[in-house]
Structure 1
Amino acid sequence: MISLVLAMIWSRRGQAVTLALLASFAVAAAVASPAYLLAVDRAIAVGQIGTADAAERGLVVAGVQNDRDSDSSQIDFKDFGASLVKLPGFTYIYAAEFPVIGIEPGPQYADRFVFRQDVCSHVRMISGRCPAAEGEVIIGVATAKRLRLVAGQSITMRAAKYSDDPKDPGYIADGRAKKLVIAGTYRANAPEAPYWGTHGYFTGVPGLGPGEPIFTNPGTLDAMDHGDTAKAIDGSAGPRALDPDHLDELRAGLAALNSDPSELGAAIQISTGIPALLDRIDAGRSAAHLLVPVLAVPLVLLACFSIFLAVGYGTEGRQPELAVVALRGSRWWTRWWLAIGENIAAVAVGAVAGCVAGQLLVNAVASARFPGVGVDQGLDSLRYAPYAALAALVAAVLAQRRQLLSPVASLLRRNAVPADGRRAVATEAVIVLLAVVTTAQLVISDGALTGVGLMAPAFLMLAVAVLGARLLLPAVTRYAGRALDRGHLGVALAAFQLSRRPGAQRLFALLVATVAVAGYAACTVDVADGGRRVQSRLGIGADRVLKVDGSVFRSQLLTAVRNVDPDGRYAMAVVRMPNIGHSEPPGLAVDSTRLAAVANWPSGGPSAAELASRLRPEAPAPLVLTGPQLAIEATGSGFDPEKELRLAVAVSSTTGAGDALVQLGKIHNGRFRYQQRVSVCEKGCRLNGVEIVQATAVSSVTGQFVVNSLGAADPTGPLADPAHWRMTRYGTVTADPAGLRITLNAPTGLIGGVWINPVDAPYPLPAAYAGAAPIADSITGAGGGPLPIKPVGRLSAVPRLGRHATLVDLEWADRLATDAGQSLEPQVWLGPAAPADVVGRLSAQGLSIVADTRADQIERQLDRQGPALSLWFYVLAGALSVLLGAGALVLAAAVDRARRVEDLSALRGQGLSRGRLAWATSWTYPILVATAAVVGLVTALAAWLATGWALPLAGLDPPDLPVPTWPRVLVVIGTTVAVFLVLVLVATATGQDLRRRVTKQERARR
C-alpha cells in the first residue's frame, strides 16, 4: 500500500510538491510568529539600551559628609563596594566635590572643586599637564580665558558655602585659604559621554557661560580645609549588565540594593534611571506581543484555508480513482488510506520543512532588520509547530470528507457537487457570527486585544471574503449567460469555468483573504509610520529643542534668544504656562514672531504665520525706566494710619538681567518719595505694574494715591494719561493735574492686593487653543493669577502639548505678569537654519542648556521601540499571504488542467477558433484575480475601520497627538496593485500553459 501511495505521489508530483509547499507555509507562519517575538524582544531591549541616556544606563550612590563633624556618619568609598558586588557588569567611577571661591570676582558664583577618578583620560590638555602632586589643579580653557589665568600660575582658594542672607546673599568662605598651582588648562573630550554621569559638570552657568569644574587629585582634595563634601560612585552599566537575556536579573539586583538601606547607611542615597529603562523595554515588548498575533492569526487561518482548498481541488480530480477503489469493495481503511495517504504524506513533509523554513525566514528578517542583535537559538519558537501541523492535517482530512463518505454513484458523477448546500451555508453563517462576536468583544472591551477580541481582524477578513465569494457565482453565471447569448463564446467559456466549479468560490475567497491580509498589513505599517513622524516632530515642537535650566526669567530667556537670533530665522523662546487642576488644559507661551520659521506645525486650522499675526496684534510701547535707582514720588490722602498699606513695583530688565519685585515701603498720607536701588535696572528695565497691598488683615480700605513722578518717566506723558493704565478691581485710575490718581475703594479689604498695570500688551490676551475652548475665556496667566483671553484660532493640536492645550505670545504674556518669577519649563526651539554653535551662543548669553533633543533622534528612538519593530512581522505576513495565494492558484490550475485540456480539445475539434480558445484559457483566472483584488481592498479597509483603532501602534501609553488613523490612499492602492500583479502573472502563466497543452494535444491528434 505504501508503494502504491508513493506511485500516486510520483504520478502527480507537481500537485504533491505544491501541497507540500502550502503546508510548509502554514507551519512556517505558525513558527514565524513566536520566533519573531523572541527576536523582537531582543531587538527592543538592544534598541532601548542603545538610545538610553546616561541616567538610564547607570546609577549614582551618593552622600554628603562633613569631615569636621566627628558625630556625623563618615562616608568612605570602601563603604560602597560590598553592596555593589550584587550588580556585576558595572564600571564604577569615584568622585567627590565641594564649592570653592577665590578666582570668581564676586560672591554670586562659586567654582566646583572636583576629584573624579581617571579624569585625565577624558579631557584634552590645551596647555600644561594633568595634576600630579598635592596642591595642583587644572581649569577649563574657557574659564582660563575669561579670568585671564594660565598654566603655572598660582591661585588662592577656599572652600565655600552659600549664605541666604537677604542683605548680602552669596557664597562665603568655609575654610582656610590654600595656595594652589594651575598645572594646566583642559577641554572635555565628550561632555555628553556616560563617563561624566549625571552631575552636569559642564552645564552652562547664567552670567558665566559654559560650566567647567576645577579638577584635582585626591591628595589636594583632602588637603583643603572644607566642610560638606558630596561623595559619589557613578556606576555605568556595561554589556554584561545590560545583556538582553539577563534583564530580569538586573532588575532583581537593583531591587535587592534598595531593599535594605541599612546596608549602605541612612546618609547614602541611590538614584538610577535603569528601572525606567527596564519599564520602557517591558512596555515595548507588551505592545509587540499584542501586535504580532493580530496578523499571525489570520495568516495561519489563511494557510489552513489554502490547504483545505488545495486538498479539496486535488481530491476532486482523483474522484474516478476513488470511485474504482470503492466499487471494488475495498475495506474502509484501505479506501481511506488510498484517499488521504497522498495528501497526508505531502502535508507531513511540508510541515517538517515549514518548521525549518519559518525559523530561517525569521532569522533572515532579523539579521537584515536587527543587525548585531542576534536571535534566540532555543526551541521556544517551535512550540506551536505541532499545532500548526495538526491543523494542516485536519484541514486536509476535512477537505476530503465528501470523497471518503460519498457513495460510488456520487464519486462517478462528472459534475461537481455545488457549494451552496446547507452545510456550506451553515459554515459561512458561523464565520460571519464569529466576526460579529469578536468585533463586538473588541469594542466592548475598549480595544483590549485579549481573548476572542484578538481574532476580530482574522474573522472579519474571512467573513467578508466568504460573503464576497457567495455573491460571485450568481453574478458570473448571469454574465456567462449574457456573453453566450451575444455570441462571445470565449468569454462565456471562461466565465462558465468559474461558475460551474464549486472550488472556484473557495479559491476566490482565498484570493480575497490574501489581498486583505496584505492590505491590512500595509494599512498598519503606514499608519504607524505616520504616527511616529507626528510624535517625533509635533511631539517635541521643532526640529531641535534645547531645555534651559529653570532658574531663568521669562524676559531673560526672551532677550537672550533674540540677541542670538535677532532676525528670527531659527530660534524661538518657549515656556510652559501654569495650569491649575485637571480641568484646565496646559498652555504654551512662545515668541510668536518666530513661530512660522521654527515650529513644526499641525495640519488643519490656520497656518503658523497666520496665527502668529493673530496672537501678536499691535500694542503700546512699554514704560521703560533707566538706571538702577527706582524712585516714585506720590501723594497719599484719606488713608487710615492704623491700616498699614505697602507699595511695591514689578520690573523686568530690558537687557535680560532678570525680573524683580521691589518693595518700596509703607504708604504715607501726604507727598513722599519712595526709593530703592534695583540691580536689574542697571541698563534699563520695563515697568510691569505698581502694587498696593495691605500689610495686615484689614477691611474697608479707602483713599487716594496720586503718582507725581515715576523714575525718569514724564509726568505729563503716559504716566498722567489713565488710558495708559489698567486697574481691574478695588478702585479706578483717573487723570490728575499732579499726575495719575489711584482711587481705592475696597469695602472688604485688599485681598491679594491690587495691581495698577501699564497698558503695553493686548488685554484680554489673544490665545489659540486645541480641543475644548477654555472655560469662561480665561486661563492661568504666566504670573499665576487668572488671565482673561480672547480666542483667535482653533488648532488640531498645540505643538509639544497635544490636542487639548492653549497657545499665547510669550512677550505679551510676560508683560501681563507681575510675579517676577522664574520660567516654567523654559526651552529654546530651533529650526533647520540653526548654526552648529548655537548652544555656545546661547550659553554666552547666560542660558544654561541642560538637555538637547532632536526630532530625528526621537524618530530613531521610536523606530527602535516595540510597536515599530513588531510591524516588520506584518511585512513578512503580507509576503507569506501572497505566496499562499499564488500557490493555491497554481494548484487549482494544475488540478483543473487535465479536464480543461480534454474539454477544450473537444471544442477545438468542433470548430472553436484560436481566438476564442485564447479567451477561454487566458482570462479565467486573471478575471478571478482582478475581482478578488477589488473585493480584497474593500475587505482590508473594512477590517481596518473596525479594528485598526485598537492596535497599540504608539505604545501602551500613547501621547495626546493627532496621529493619523487612516493610511495614505497611494499606499493602500499601491499594495493592492502589487499583490494583483504577482497573482495575475501566476494566473497568466497557468493560462499560457493550458493553451500550449491544448495546442499540443490538437497536433498529436493530427
Structure 2
Amino acid sequence: MSLVLSMVWTRRGQAVTLALLALFAVASAVASPAYLTALDRAIAAGQIETATAGERSLVITGNQDARIDSGGPDFADVGPALVELPGFTYVYSSSYPVIGLETTNAYASRMVYRQDVCAHVRMVAGRCLVGQDDIIIGARTAERVGLSAGDPVTLMSAAYVDHPTDPYWKKDGRPRRLVIAGVYEVGNPGEVYWGTRGYFTAVPGIGPGEPVFSDDNTFTTLDHGVTDLSIDGLAGPAALNPDRLDELRAGLVQLTRKATEIGPNLQVNTAIPALLDRIESGRTAAHLLVPVLAVPLVLLACFSIFLAVSYGAQGRQSELAIVALRGSRWWNRWWLATGETLVAILAGAVAGCLAGQLLVNAIVAARFPGVGIEEGWASLRYAPFAALAAVGAAVLAQRRQLLSPVATLLRRPVRANGPRAVAVDAVVVLLAVVCAVQLALSDGSLTGVGLLAPAFVMLALALLAARALLPLVTRYASRALAAGRLGPALAGFQLSRRPGAARLFALLVATVAVAGYAACAIDVAARSRLVQADLGVGASRVLEVQPVFRSKLLHAVRQVDPAGEFAMATVRLRNSTGVEPLGLAADTTRLAAVATWPEGGPPAREVARELRPEAPAPPTVKGPDLVVRADAGGIVKGREVRLNVLLTSLSGLGESLVQLGDLRAGEHTYEQRVSACDEGCRINGLQLMVNSNVAGVTASVTIAGLGDGWRMPQYGRVSSTAGGLRIDLDAPGGLPEGAWIYPVDTPYPLPVAYAGNDQAGDVLTGLDGKAMEVTEATGLPAVPRLGRNATLVDLEYADRFAVDAAPALLPEVWLNDKAPADIAEKLTGQGLTIVADSQAAQVRRQLAEQGPALSLWFHLLAGGLAVLLGAFALVLAAAVDRGRRVEDLSALRVQGLRRPTMSRATLWTYPALVGIAAVTGMLTALAGWAVTGWALPLTGVASVDLPLPSWPRVLALAGTTVLVLLLLATVALVTGRDLRRRITPS
C-alpha cells in the first residue's frame, strides 16, 4: 500500500487528472437523476406560474327557483368534497337578470351577489355596500344611463322573450326601489377572484358589461325567479404544490363524482386537469430528454478513463516489466499494476457523488430560483454503477500489462490496431446499428436500447472516423518527410504512429460530437418553440369573440382599423364532412400586415393578391325599403313559388333573409321594410322556395332592374332579357333547400390556398355549410393557427358565397404588435364581445417553462462537461507522452534538428489533432442527429400540426465548433509549449 501511495504521489499530476475523469463519470450519473428530481418540481412551478385564471380555479354551478321550491342543488352537500381539496379559497356568488336600469328592455342587467366584492372594486363615487337596498353600479353604466351615487332606481326581475324579430326582456317580479350607494371600477377584470363567470364581457348593443352588485340580504329579498348559483374555487400555493399534484387530481375526481351524485343541475367546470396533463406531459418529455445526453456523457467519461489509464500503463510498462521479472505473485503484480489507478478512481468517484449534486444545486438555484431540491439519497442510485464502469474501463485498459509476458512488456508499445482492437470497434458499430434500428422500428420510442442510440451512434462514428482519417495523416506525414518538411512530418507521425493516438482522436471527436448534438437539440427546440407560439397562435395576439354575423365582424374590425395596419377578422369554414382539411377565412387585405407567416412559402402579399383578385361590385339596396318588381309565369295553384332575398348590411348590422311571399302570376311589386338596411345592404342572393312536399315545379320569373352577372348552380338557368333577369325554374324533384341565384360579384370558382398533400379537390364546405366550388391558387407550408393540413380563403368573398344568414363559426380578431393598448375596448364599442385572449408572448412563456425547454439546460451542461472531458484527456495524453517525446526530440536536436523545426513539431501536433477532431466531431454530431434527432420530444404540447424545424442553423453549429476548437486548441498549445521547454539542448 505504501508503494502504491508513493507511486500516486510521484505521478500526482496523472493521478489528479484520472481522479477528475472518474469524478466526471460519477458526477454525470448523479447529476441526471438529481436534475430530473428538481426538474419535475420546476416544470410544475413554471406551468402553474404561467397558467391562465381558468387553469388555476374551478367553478361549481347550479340554479334554483325559490318560487316553486324546485329542489335545486344545495351547495352545502358539496362541503365534504371541498374539504378534500385543501388550499382553495372559495367565493360564493349568485345572479339573476333585472330590468329598470337600462333605458330599453332589449337588454337586461345582471344583479349579482358576490362574497367580499367590496375588497375587489375601487369606488370612484359614493361608497360600497353597507345596508339593505344598497346597490353599486359600474362607472360606464352610470355614464351611459345618466345616474350617479345617491340616485334611486327601481329594478325588477326579468325573463327573456325570444321573439323571432324583436326579442326583449319582460318583467318577472315585483318592482323594488333601491339606492345607488356608489359607482365602481374594476382594475383587473382578469383577476382570479372574478373566476370564469364573464362578469365584464361586452354586451352587444351596450358595450362593456358591468354587473349590479348588492349584498346578500338585498339580493335575496328582491322578488325574482331562477337564480344562477356558483362557487368559485381559487387554487392557492398549497393546492398547487408541485409535490401534491396527484392528490389534487384525485380530489377533483372525487368532487366531480360528488356533484354528479347530488343532481344533474350541479356541474363542476375547471381547466385544472388540462394544466395537470400539461405538467405530466412535460415531465414525461424531460425523463426522455435528460438521459439522451446523460448516457453518452457517462460512456464518454469511461472512454476517457480507458484512454487515460491505457496511456499511463504504456508509460509504466518498464516498471511493470521489472515487477514481473522479479517473479512477484500474481496478486502483487495485479495490485501494483492497478492500485495507483484504482486509488485515483475511487477518490474521484467519492468526490463525484458530492460534485454532481452540488453542480445540480447550483444550476437549479440559478435557473429555477425558489423551486428547491428534494432531500434524500435518490440521486446517488446510479453512482455505484458509474464507479464500477470506471473501474472496469481502467482494468480493461491495463489488460495488456497484466497479462503480457516480460518480453512483451520490455518492448516499446506499438499502435493498438490488432484484431482485438478491430473486434472492439466492430462490437461498438454493431451496437450502434442495433440501437438505431430499434429506435426506427419503435417509431422513435426512447426506451430500452433505443435510449442508447444517440450515444452509441456518435461513439461508433467517432471510432470509424479515427480509422479512416489517421491513415491519411500518415500519408501526409510521409509526403512531408519526402519533401524535406521535417516539422509537419514529425507532427504527423506523432499523431498517426504513437500508441493510443487513434483512441485519443476518437475521444476528441466524440466529445465535440456530444457538444454538437446538444447544440442541435437546443437550437432546434428554441426555433420550434417560436414556431409553436407565433405560427400556432396565428398573430401576436388573437381575440376570440362571441358569435356574430360575418359582415358585422368585418365591419367592426375595419372601423377600428380602417388602414389595415394591425387588425384582421377571421372565421372558420364549416368543414362538416370530416374528411376535409380545416379551413380559415381571413380578411386578406390585412394578411401581410397582421398574420404570422410560415417560412418557406410564397410571400403573404402575393398570396393575398391571388386569393383576392379584382371582382365586380355587388348589387346593393340603398335604403330600408326593399322593392322588387317581378313578372312570374307558369305559376300553378298548390305549387306556388315563394321569393326570398338575402341581404347583408353595409354598416355591420348583420344578414337578413327577407321573405317577400308567394309570387303571383303576371307582373307585381313586392315590398318589405328591412331596418338593417338603413345605410344600405348588399344582395347576397335570391331564393325560390316551394312547400317541402311539392315536386315537379316549373316556372319562369323575370325580375326588373337586374341584368347580367348572375349564376344559378342548379334547378334551372338564368339569362338577361330586356325586362331584367329571367329565371327559368325546373325542379322535377322539388326544392328541399330552395333554388339559389347568386350575383357574380366574386371570382368563381373561389381561389383557395392549400397546405398539405390531402387537398379537398375543387369543392370545399363553405361558411354556410354548403358546397363551395374552389380552385387552387397557391400552396403553403402551413396555414397560420391551423397547421400543415388546412385551407385559406378570403373572408369577404367567401361570405358573399354563403347564404345562411347565420352567425360565424369561431369568429376571431387577429392583432399584430402595433395594436393599441385599448383595442379590446374599441372592439367592444363596435358591438363585439371578447370571450378569449391568446397571445404569442404568453405561449412562448408557457413553452419556455415546459419539460422540453427546461430539460435542454442539462444538454447545455452535458455539452460543456464533454468538452472538459476531452481537455483533461488531452492533458493526460500529453503528460504521458512527454517523457518519450522529450527523449526522442532531444536526441534529434543533438543530431542537428533545427530549433524552428522542433518547435513546429511540438507546438502543432496536438492543435492539428484538435482541429481535425473539431470538424470531424461536428460532422459526426450532424450524422448522429440525422439518425436519432427526429425522435427527441423537443416541443411542448401543441394543438395543431405545424412545420417545425428539424435541422439546426449553420451559424449555431459553426459557433459551437469555434468555441470548442478555441478551448481544446488552447489546451493543446499549452501542452506543446511545455513540451518544447523541456527539450534539450535548448
1: CA distance, partners of 2:727 / 2:506: 85
Specify which of 597, 600, 604 is matched with residue 604 of structure 1: 600
| C-alpha deviation, 1:832, in angstroms | 2.2
The 5-angstrom pairing of residues 513-528 of structure 1 reads 513-528=510-525
Match in the other structure for 2:276: 278
Match in the other structure for 2:766: 781
Supply the AA of the counterpart residue of 1:442. L
Supply the AA of the counterpart residue of 1:654. L
| C-alpha deviation, 1:75, in angstroms | 4.3
The 5-angstrom pairing of residues 401-550 of structure 1 reads 401-414=399-412, 416-550=413-547
2:61 paired with 1:65: no
2:892 paired with 1:899: no
Supply the AA of the counterpart residue of 1:677. R
Supply the AA of the counterpart residue of 1:372. G
Deviates more, 1:360-369 or 1:927-936: 360-369
Is the contact between residue 472 and residue 505 of structure 1 (CA under 8 Å) also seen in structure 2? no
Match in the other structure for 2:800: 815
The 5-angstrom pairing of residues 27-106 of structure 1 reads 27-70=26-69, 72-106=70-104
Is the contact between residue 78 and residue 259 of structure 2 (CA under 8 Å) also seen in structure 1? no
Match in the other structure for 1:255: 253
1: CA distance, partners of 2:523 / 2:451: 21
2: CA distance, partners of 1:378 / 1:371: 20
2: CA distance, partners of 1:262 / 1:539: 36
| C-alpha deviation, 1:76, in angstroms | 4.7
| C-alpha deviation, 1:749, in angstroms | 2.0
1: CA distance, partners of 2:134 / 2:666: 64
Aligned CA distance change for structure 1 residues 522 and 296 (closer, same or farther; 3 Å): same
2:329 paired with 1:295: no
2:21 paired with 1:25: no
TM-score of the superposed pair, with normalisation by structure 2: 0.98
Deviates more, 1:836-845 or 1:507-516: 836-845
The 5-angstrom pairing of residues 156-167 of structure 1 reads 156-166=154-164
Q: Secondary structure at the match of 2:646?
A: strand
2: CA distance, partners of 1:470 / 1:241: 59
| C-alpha deviation, 1:479, in angstroms | 1.9
Aligned CA distance change for structure 1 residues 391 and 828 (closer, same or farther; 3 Å): same
2: CA distance, partners of 1:547 / 1:776: 30
| C-alpha deviation, 1:740, in angstroms | 2.2
Q: Secondary structure at the match of 1:776?
A: coil
Aligned CA distance change for structure 1 residues 145 and 261 (closer, same or farther; 3 Å): closer
Q: Secondary structure at the match of 2:901?
A: helix
Q: Secondary structure at the match of 1:748?
A: coil
TM-score of the superposed pair, with normalisation by structure 1: 0.96
Unaligned residue ranges in structure 1 (runs of 5+): 709-714
2:698 paired with 1:702: yes
How big is each residue's C-alpha offset from its partner over 1:43-82, in whole Å with a ceiling of 9 and x where there is no partner?
A: 1101111111111111111110101112x22445544333
| C-alpha deviation, 1:886, in angstroms | 0.3
Supply the AA of the counterpart residue of 1:248. D
2: CA distance, partners of 1:266 / 1:616: 50
Q: Secondary structure at the match of 1:774?
A: coil
Is the contact between residue 23 and residue 347 of structure 1 (CA under 8 Å) also seen in structure 2? yes
| C-alpha deviation, 1:296, in angstroms | 1.3
Runs of 4+ in 1 over 6 A off after TM superposition: none
Match in the other structure for 1:227: 225
Supply the AA of the counterpart residue of 2:508. L
Specify which of 557, 579, 586 is matched with residue 583 of structure 1: 579
Match in the other structure for 1:712: none
The 5-angstrom pairing of residues 304-323 of structure 1 reads 304-323=302-321
Supply the AA of the counterpart residue of 2:740. W
1: CA distance, partners of 2:162 / 2:567: 35
Specify which of 659, 666, 670 is matched with residue 666 of structure 2: 670
2: CA distance, partners of 1:682 / 1:180: 39
Supply the AA of the counterpart residue of 2:951. W
Specify which of 620, 624, 645 is matched with residue 620 of structure 2: 624
Is the contact between residue 438 and residue 452 of structure 1 (CA under 8 Å) also seen in structure 2? yes
| C-alpha deviation, 1:384, in angstroms | 0.7
1: CA distance, partners of 2:481 / 2:164: 104
Supply the AA of the counterpart residue of 2:53. A
Specify which of 634, 639, 642 is matched with residue 638 of structure 1: 634
Q: Secondary structure at the match of 1:587?
A: strand
Is the contact between residue 83 and residue 263 of structure 1 (CA under 8 Å) also seen in structure 2? no
Match in the other structure for 1:886: 871
Match in the other structure for 1:373: 371
Q: Secondary structure at the match of 1:787?
A: strand
Q: Secondary structure at the match of 2:427?
A: helix
| C-alpha deviation, 1:626, in angstroms | 3.3
Is the contact between residue 259 and residue 268 of structure 2 (CA under 8 Å) also seen in structure 1? no
| C-alpha deviation, 1:575, in angstroms | 0.8
| C-alpha deviation, 1:352, in angstroms | 0.8
Q: Secondary structure at the match of 1:249?
A: helix
Identity %: 62
The 5-angstrom pairing of residues 359-398 of structure 1 reads 359-398=357-396
Is the contact between residue 643 and residue 696 of structure 1 (CA under 8 Å) also seen in structure 2? no
Supply the AA of the counterpart residue of 1:333. W
The 5-angstrom pairing of residues 821-860 of structure 1 reads 821-860=806-845
2: CA distance, partners of 1:13 / 1:959: 59
Is the contact between residue 91 and residue 236 of structure 1 (CA under 8 Å) also seen in structure 2? yes
2:12 paired with 1:13: yes
Match in the other structure for 1:988: 973
Aligned CA distance change for structure 1 residues 773 and 258 (closer, same or farther; 3 Å): closer
Is the contact between residue 81 and residue 258 of structure 2 (CA under 8 Å) also seen in structure 1? no
1: CA distance, partners of 2:606 / 2:225: 58
Match in the other structure for 2:590: 594
The root-mean-square deviation of aligned C-alpha atoms, in Å, is 1.5
How big is each residue's C-alpha offset from its partner over 1:950-995, in whole Å with a ceiling of 9 and x where there is no partner?
A: 1111136573111111111011011011111100100110000111
| C-alpha deviation, 1:776, in angstroms | 3.0
Specify which of 901, 909, 917 is matched with residue 924 of structure 1: 909
How big is each residue's C-alpha offset from its partner over 1:621-658, in whole Å with a ceiling of 9 and x where there is no partner?
A: 22222333333232322122122433222111111111
| C-alpha deviation, 1:418, in angstroms | 2.6
2: CA distance, partners of 1:992 / 1:958: 58
Aligned CA distance change for structure 1 residues 871 and 858 (closer, same or farther; 3 Å): same
2: CA distance, partners of 1:823 / 1:576: 8
The 5-angstrom pairing of residues 165-180 of structure 1 reads 165-166=163-164, 168-180=166-178
2: CA distance, partners of 1:447 / 1:183: 66
How big is each residue's C-alpha offset from its partner over 1:930-967, in whole Å with a ceiling of 9 and x where there is no partner?
A: 11111111100101111111111113657311111111
Specify which of 746, 750, 761 is matched with residue 765 of structure 1: 750
2: CA distance, partners of 1:167 / 1:28: 76
| C-alpha deviation, 1:668, in angstroms | 2.8
Q: How many residues were matched structurally?
A: 986
| C-alpha deviation, 1:666, in angstroms | 2.5
2: CA distance, partners of 1:519 / 1:592: 42
2: CA distance, partners of 1:54 / 1:696: 50
Supply the AA of the counterpart residue of 1:362. V
